[in-house]
Amino acid sequence: MKKTILVNLDNDGKIFKSFNFWADEFPFELPNINSEITKKIDFIKNIIKIASKKICIEFSLPKHLSNYALLGIKYENDNSNSLEIAISDFAENEKYDTDITCLNKDHKYKGLLPEYRDTIYSTINNVLIDLGMGLTGKIHINVSAYCELGSSIKSFENAVKILMDLLFVDNYDEETLIKILKKYI
């Protein structure tokens, strides 16, 4: 299910931005390759169990040079006491076209640049620390896209925060999505 959400970014109703959101599907998946970089976080208390999910967001924020991110999470619940975070080690030269635009007609590419990987790991860990809880299972990051010039560590950090909030939500109605998006934009 894909939804395009129009979010009012100011109280005057003058600045709107589109966000793409997918639940239970991805716009594409990166090729199945042998190279996956994995980190593991062990938890011993405050473990929360949530349903397995597949969610993805795409956005390009106004007024920021480094503003674009597309990131998807496939979360699989299990009965362990740890969370495994696996990120496909893949960046390709295949362009990705969508209705969300980057600034200055920048080009979008499927994949994830190495400099964003550490941000993804640390942001997932920090979100769970801030929540004071552990999540067990496996998070796969195997769908992503970036702009050649218009993506940044900050845009992927925001994408991870949004996705982590969405993992704990069961209802993806427009009101819920807008409330979560506005926390980070």
Contact 7, 61 (CB under 8 A): no
What mean pLDDT comes out for the span 53-70? 78
Contact 113, 91 (CB under 8 A): yes
**CB proximity list for 179: less than 8 A, separation 6 or greater:** none
Structure-block tokens of residue 12: 């005057």
Q: How confident is the model at residue 54 (pLDDT cuts 50, 70, 90)?
A: very high
| Residue 15: predicted pLDDT | 57
Structure-block tokens of residue 133: 């809880």
Residue 162: C-alpha distances to residues 13, 127, 158 (Å): 23, 10, 6
**CB proximity list for 107: less than 8 A, separation 6 or greater:** 95, 147, 148
Q: Which residues pair with 114 in a beta bridge?
A: none
**pTM attached to this predicted model:** 0.86
Of all residues in the chain, what percent carry a pLDDT higher than 90? 18
Per-residue pLDDT of 121-165, as tens digits, reads 899 989 988 888 788 899 998 888 887 766 678 888 999 999 999
Give the distance from CA 85 to its chain's centroid: 13
| Residue 6: predicted pLDDT | 66
For the cut 70, the answer to whether the pLDDT of residue 32 exceeds it is: no
For the cut 80, the answer to whether the pLDDT of residue 61 exceeds it is: no
| Residue 102: predicted pLDDT | 63
